[in-house]
Amino acid sequence: MPRPTGPPIGLTLARTAKSVSRAFDDALAAAGGSLPVWLIMISLKTRSLGNQRELADAIGIRGATLTHHLNAMEADGLVTRQRDPANRRIHQVALTQRGETLFGRLAAAATEHDRRLHADLSKEDIATLERLLHRLQSNVGSEVPEATAGSDA
């Protein structure tokens, strides 16, 4: 068996993903938020969701975990939850004015993070990178849900 000329591509990819994710977490924290808060907010802003279960599915977490995050966000004055008049078992979630303000800061942080990721990359580089990442996904027979807009951690 020939000696490897460098680290396995999976290891390089995992290290890169961890580094990019950590930088995104840091950017969101500096803006006063976190990845779960960002994912909840961006989903509320960009999707028509009928209930908390749909919101949990949209961001890829369990209902109990979403409830934990929503409880904290509600306590911080970022969201309101009201029972749906047509179905009392369903809670409608909405951003408050304070939540809208935080969303603006987090959106700016996500945009700046994305700008940093694109620095020194041409449009062709980005297209090639996206193609290669999709090919790697295909090679392992796994489909990863498409990232929520701006959550390129």
Which has the higher per-residue pLDDT, 53 or 143? 53
**Mean pLDDT score across all residues of the chain:** 88
* pLDDT score recorded for residue 109: 98
pTM of the predicted model as reported, rounded to 2 decimal places: 0.81
pLDDT above 90 for 87 = no
* pLDDT score recorded for residue 24: 97
CA separation for the pair 15, 31 (Å, rounded): 25
* pLDDT score recorded for residue 152: 45
Per-domain boundaries in the chain: 12-139
Where does the chain show beta strands of DSSP type E? Answer: 79-84, 87-95
Domain 12-139 falls under CATH 1.10.10.10 = yes
CB 49 within 8 A of CB 63: no
